[in-house]
Amino acid sequence: MRFCRVRSVAEAVDELSRWGTEGRILAGGTDVMPQYLRDEQSPAALIDISGIDGLQGISEVGGVTSVGALVTLRRLATASLIAMRHPALAQAAAAVGGWQTQTVATLGGNVCSGAPWADTVPALLIADAQMMLVSKSGRRRMNLGEFLEGAGATALRPTELLRAVELEPVGDRSAEGYVKVGRRSAMDLAAVGLALRLSLTPTGVVSDIRIAVCGGTRSPHRVPSVESAVVGSQLDDGRLDWAAAGAELASAAAPERTEAARYRRQVLPGLLSRLADRCVAGIPGECG
Amino acid sequence: MPGTADEQSVSVRVMVNDRAHQLDVDAGEVLLGTLRDRLGLTGPKEACGEGECGACTVLVDGGPVASCILAAGSTNGRVVRTVEGLAGTDELTTLQQAFVRHAAVQCGYCTPGVLMVLTALLDDVPEPTETDVRRALAGNICRCTGYQQIVEAALEAAGTVQS
């Protein structure tokens, strides 16, 4: 195996095009290295992109947040711009592994692993994330929902690199959050993760709601059947009855005939109502 | 220039405990192996070998990392600190002294990693709460102490509680 250290996106895409499916991108390495050490992966080359300065930025321009692929989970969990504009993403990043993992693990790695339990992905899905991809033949952008192609699979081509993720920040009359349940409260993969973004009119009508889940057997995904059932609902005394939405969420997000899915069906309704109440309380105005 | 690495090995310039090193490491080598086998720094311990238990924790550019799964090649240009780099020649750090006073060490296998995480915490958060301390320790497994003495030692070292 070769170790190819690259310093720029141009060098990275050169190496990716040279190695193709034989090359493996190395960023924080918290997935790649354990897989290599367990002999689950034997790439001909590790392409170390961790030194590319141009992929480390967080910025907000023209109402769009751009997060570089190499931004670490620790930075996402602690950066003030993310805390203000993407609180669900900050909470999701803080829920991945322990501090040791968060120090080096990157947003790009969490998304491109294609893992069904990737905590940051539901938080990105409710921000309508766009994947900014680059290869030797040019650039393309792709909606995150289309990018994810099932457990462990994404639309990322072997010669392609994720540069950044572009996100729609949470609006003035909106709030969002992420909650996760695992077998223990830290250092475990999500059995269920739920991200919610809720927007209300001044009179307390749900003007927009976005729900995304992770932790099942397939890619993290939005749950449009619940979103369309809830949008337009009127809060009553600052509350919404989430029972019907919770039941729909459980059956839509965990339909499998397995014990693990049965557990997720039991947990999801409670997570939804708790997270929704937290969001409502976070939106200013008489509706809350 | 990409791809200048020799087959199977890569050159790394890395600062470890204030000493500069120029090393040729294997492409698949992890930092823990470099520290223990090439530099003789056996403070960081191997236990799980897959980044789950924290016994191998060292600081890279001030942040705690699991050195058992960190590619040695990716530490080029970085600053590494191990438990050997905490104390001076004859004086332990405030945190280490608090560990001794509180008997926060039993078998000691987790201790080098725990000390590094808590050192990073005290650098980051001057007055941590007990919750901050326990959250920081989420990635460090200790099967002897039940964590209580470790948490008390950390809080005393931070000056959050009186000894």
- Kindly list the residues from chain A whose CB atom is less than 8 angstroms away from the CB atom of residue B60: 103-104
Distance from CA of B41 to the nearest CA of A (A): 19
Contact (CB<8Å) A186/B30: no
Q: Which helix or strand (DSSP H or E) is residue B119 part of? A: helix B111-124
> Is A286 a residue whose pLDDT tops 60?
no
Which among A50, A47, A33 is positioned nearest to A2, based on CA atoms? A47
Q: In what order do the strands lie in the sheet with A58-61?
A: A58-61, A64-68, A161-167, A130-135, A138-143
Contact (CB<8Å) A26/B117: no
> Per-residue DSSP letters for A144-209?
HHHHB-STT-BS--TT-EEEEEEEPPP-TTEEEEEEEE-SSSSSS--SEEEEEEEEE-TTSBEEEE
Query: Which residue of chain A comes nearest to B140, CA vs CA?
Result: A98
Contact (CB<8Å) A100/B3: no
Contact (CB<8Å) A37/B10: no
CA atoms within 13 A on the CB side of A165: 31
If DSSP codes are grouped into helix, strand and coil, which group holds residue A128? coil
Distance from CA of B70 to the nearest CA of A (A): 6
If you search the block for the tokens 């475990």, which residue do you land on?
Answer: A188
- Kindly list the residues from chain A whose CB atom is less than 8 angstroms away from the CB atom of residue B69: 29-30, 33-34, 37
For residue A259 the two structure tokens come to 């014990």
Would you call A4 an interface residue with chain B, using a CB distance cutoff of 8 Å? yes
Residue pLDDT, tens place only, A211-264: 999 998 899 999 999 999 999 999 888 788 899 999 999 999 999 999 999 999
pLDDT at B5: 42
Q: Which helix or strand (DSSP H or E) is residue B50 part of? A: none
CB B7: neighbour CB atoms within 10 A?
9
Alpha helices in chain A (DSSP H): 9-19, 32-37, 73-78, 80-85, 87-94, 99-104, 107-112, 120-125, 144-147, 224-230, 243-253, 259-281
Comparison of pLDDT for A68 and A190, the residue scoring more: A68
CATH topology of domain A174-281: Enolase-like; domain 1 (3.30.390)
The string over B95-114, giving b where at least 16 C-beta atoms fall within 10 Å of a residue's C-beta and e elsewhere, is bbbbbeebebbeeebbbbbb
Angle at A95 between CA A89 and CA A100, to 5 degrees: 115
Q: A152: burial class by Cβ within 10 Å (0-12, 13-18, 19+)? A: exposed
pLDDT at A284: 80
| CA atoms A143, A165, A32, A116: torsion sign | negative
> Residue A261 carries which side chain, given as an amino acid letter?
A
pLDDT at B160: 64
CATH assignment of B9-85? Answer: 3.10.20.30
- Kindly list the residues from chain B whose CB atom is less than 8 angstroms away from the CB atom of residue A10: none
Distance from CA of A78 to the nearest CA of B (A): 11
Highest CATH level, class, for B94-158? mainly alpha
Would you call B118 an interface residue with chain A, using a CB distance cutoff of 8 Å? no
User: For every one of its 163 residues, what pLDDT tens digit does chain B have, with 9 covering 90 and above?
Assistant: 334 444 589 999 999 999 999 999 999 999 999 999 999 999 999 999 999 999 999 999 999 999 999 999 999 999 999 999 999 778 999 999 999 999 999 999 999 999 999 999 999 998 999 999 999 999 999 999 899 999 999 999 998 654 4
- Kindly list the residues from chain A whose CB atom is less than 8 angstroms away from the CB atom of residue B51: 30, 33-34, 97, 100-101
Query: Which residue of chain B comes nearest to A36, CA vs CA?
Result: B28
For residue A153 the two structure tokens come to 């699979």
Query: Which residue of chain B comes nearest to A23, CA vs CA?
Result: B3
Q: Where are the domains of chain B?
A: 9-85, 94-158
Q: Tell me which DSSP letter residue A129 carries.
A: -
Q: Where are the domains of chain A?
A: 1-53, 174-281
Contact (CB<8Å) B74/A186: no
With pLDDT > 90 as the criterion, what percentage of chain A qualifies? 91
If DSSP codes are grouped into helix, strand and coil, which group holds residue B25? strand
Which among A121, A126, A92 is positioned nearest to A198, based on CA atoms? A126
- The pLDDT confidence band at residue A288, using thresholds 50, 70 and 90, is very low
The string over B10-26, giving b where at least 16 C-beta atoms fall within 10 Å of a residue's C-beta and e elsewhere, is bebebebbeeeeebebb
Highest CATH level, class, for A1-53? alpha beta
